[in-house]
Amino acid sequence: MTSQTQKFIEPSDILALKLKCKGCDSTLTIPSGRQMAGREEMGKLSSCPICRKAWANLEGATYEPLIIKFVSTLNELRAALKTAPIGFTLTFEVEPEED
């Protein structure tokens, strides 16, 4: 017999985004409820705050607005699911942890 376990989370279960530098292994944790769209937040994901290795910037392009959009949209979705009388629950399936 084969057994398989699936793990699902709700948007409200996402507490933070964790960025781990591929250069120095330092981490930056961003609470998922944080408003990242303000001008004062721009550029904070461009490079590692410790070793300055490029993060969201790659070959002249930046992926920082995409990350900020994800966090903002997650917050909007979470708020809508909490207040809207929709007829379903939304969950995300996540990869199982490796042993």
The answer to whether residues 98 and 15 touch, using CB atoms and an 8 Å cutoff, is no
Phi, psi of 66 (to 5 degrees): -65, -40
Q: Rounded distance, CA 74 to CA 82, Å? A: 12
Q: Which residues contact 84 (CB under 8 A, 6 or more apart)?
A: none
| Entry pTM | 0.74
Distant-in-sequence, close-in-space partners of 66: CB < 8 Å, separation ≥ 6: none
Q: How confident is the model at residue 44 (pLDDT cuts 50, 70, 90)?
A: confident
Q: How far apart are the first and last CA of the chain?
A: 20
pLDDT value at 99 more than 70: no
* Domain range summary for the chain, segments of one domain joined by +: 7-84
